[in-house]
Copies of this chain bind each other. A is one copy, B any other.
Amino acid sequence: MSLVNTALQPESPDACIPSTASSSAGSAIASATRGEIAVALPMRHAGVRQVTLRYEVQGPADAPVVFIAGGISAHRHVSASSAFAEPGWANALVAAGRTLDPASHRVIAFDYVGADGGLDAPIDTADQADAIAVLLDALEIDRLQAFVGYSYGAMVGLQFAARHPQRLQKLVAVSGAHRPHPYASAWRALQRRAVALGQLQCADAQGLALARQFAMLSYRTPEEFGERFDSAPEIVNGRVRCAAEDYLDAAGAQYVARTPVTAYLRLSESIDLHRLDPASVQVQVVVVAVEGDRLVPLSDSVNLVEGLAGRGQLRVLRSPYGHDAFLKETDRIDLILAAVLRGHGAAP
């Protein structure tokens, strides 16, 4: 892999919230830093592409480094800090008192390649993994204590472990495996068709909202819907409106407001392109599966662990939140991370 034109560019204060800031205690250590680097990334299906890697780093410079990667709609802002006060996408997991306490760990995350909507080409999970290696080079980080990946992030983590084994000690792969399940791929393919149907008539937002709403059904479970939306439908303007539709409307609108259509399409595709031989992963991996996950069946997680041989360990949760358990069952996920990062959890 050859890389050219790699340039570290701290983000200008004009671009967004100032890129570094002191912690609330007034210490000299920045509570969080954002920046971006422009790189020429050789991609598996798309040739060499000029992309911008946008990252955020939180925690002391000398602390053990953990890279955290979430689903395709996750981003570099994992949790709130004094520098960047808005809640992050894993705000309850990267927090004071948690295993991933930013006082004791240096937590890094980035915006996925393609997340800005500027790259309209097939993106492989291997491309994301290589981009992360480039980013670590730029940040002068040799080795991670752990890579914690959830959903798409688990797939990227497996690629990172396979392609850059010297860069990490352990991988925690939550709700993601060595392949997408064919049923889940079909589900996503239809979501992309909803976007295409919207695009036919320049109703891109409507198509994307519908795609997201269908995705929500794959992220959650019937148990949760049964609890939350168990009232009779209404007839509104002569049409039946079901109890969950307000919730689905909100989920669609919220997603559309923050997601470029191209980003959604290409990252959704990227999940389906993912494919990796578990035997190619030569580091310790804790695979966390959720029983009831409608996207990643337990059997795929078991197959992954078997393929990892002595390097894999399986933890299984049962959760009404299904695929979204990582974001919802934060106490239980934190216990698993504690065992892994403190060295009790990753033994074969």
Q: Known interface pairs A225-B182, A229-B182. Does A189 touch B275 (Cβ–Cβ under 8 Å)?
A: no
CB-CB contacts of A185-227 with B at 8 A, as 1s and 0s?
A: 1111110011001101101001100100110010001100110
Is the pair B232, A186 in contact by a Cβ cutoff of 8 Å? Answer: no
Which residue among A235, A240, A245 has the maximum number of chain B CB atoms within 10 Å of its CB? Answer: A240
For A203, list chain B residues within 8 Å (CB).
197, 200-201
**Bound Cα distance A239, B272 (Å):** 11
The answer to whether the Cβ of A122 comes within 8 Å of any Cβ in the partner chain is yes
How many copies of this chain sit in the oligomeric assembly? 2
For A62, list chain B residues within 8 Å (CB).
none
Q: Known interface pairs A203-B201, A217-B183, A297-B222. Does A189 touch B269 (Cβ–Cβ under 8 Å)?
A: no
Q: Known interface pairs A201-B200, A201-B203, A206-B197. Does A183 touch B242 (Cβ–Cβ under 8 Å)?
A: no
Q: Known interface pairs A197-B194, A203-B200. Does A240 touch B269 (Cβ–Cβ under 8 Å)?
A: yes
The answer to whether the Cβ of A238 comes within 8 Å of any Cβ in the partner chain is yes
The size of the chain A interface, using a CB distance under 8 A, is 51
CB-CB contacts of A163-186 with B at 8 A, as 1s and 0s?
A: 000000000000000000111111
Determine the main DSSP class of A at the interface with B: helix
Which chain B residue lies CB-closest to A207?
B197
Minimum Cβ distance to chain B for residue A190 (Å): 5
The answer to whether the Cβ of A348 comes within 8 Å of any Cβ in the partner chain is no
**Bound Cα distance A229, B226 (Å):** 30
CB-CB contacts of A251-283 with B at 8 A, as 1s and 0s?
A: 000000000000000000100110100000000
Other-chain contact of A226, B181, B213, B233 (Cβ < 8 Å): B181
Which residue among A213, A230, A233 has the maximum number of chain B CB atoms within 10 Å of its CB? Answer: A233
The answer to whether the Cβ of A338 comes within 8 Å of any Cβ in the partner chain is no
Is the pair A122, B244 in contact by a Cβ cutoff of 8 Å? Answer: no
Is the pair A45, B185 in contact by a Cβ cutoff of 8 Å? Answer: no
Is the pair A189, B222 in contact by a Cβ cutoff of 8 Å? Answer: no
Is the pair A183, B221 in contact by a Cβ cutoff of 8 Å? Answer: yes
Is the pair B189, A245 in contact by a Cβ cutoff of 8 Å? Answer: yes
Is the pair A193, B210 in contact by a Cβ cutoff of 8 Å? Answer: yes
Is the pair B186, A225 in contact by a Cβ cutoff of 8 Å? Answer: yes
The answer to whether the Cβ of A121 comes within 8 Å of any Cβ in the partner chain is yes
Is the pair A217, B197 in contact by a Cβ cutoff of 8 Å? Answer: no
For A194, list chain B residues within 8 Å (CB).
194, 197, 210
Minimum Cβ distance to chain B for residue A222 (Å): 4
**Bound Cα distance A137, B304 (Å):** 61
The answer to whether the Cβ of A51 comes within 8 Å of any Cβ in the partner chain is no
Q: Known interface pairs A225-B182, A226-B182, A240-B272. Does A190 touch B214 (Cβ–Cβ under 8 Å)?
A: yes
Other-chain contact of A185, B190, B193, B233 (Cβ < 8 Å): B233
The answer to whether the Cβ of A248 comes within 8 Å of any Cβ in the partner chain is yes
The answer to whether the Cβ of A243 comes within 8 Å of any Cβ in the partner chain is yes
Q: Would you list 11 pairs from A and B whose C-beta atoms are within 8 A, ordered by A residue?
A: A45-B235, A122-B240, A181-B226, A182-B229, A182-B242, A189-B242, A194-B197, A194-B210, A197-B198, A197-B210, A200-B203
Interchain residue pairs A-B with the least CB separation, the first 4: A201-B201, A183-B222, A183-B225, A186-B244
Given A122-B238, A182-B229, A185-B229, list of 6 further CB < 8 A pairs?
A183-B221, A183-B229, A185-B244, A186-B217, A187-B217, A194-B197
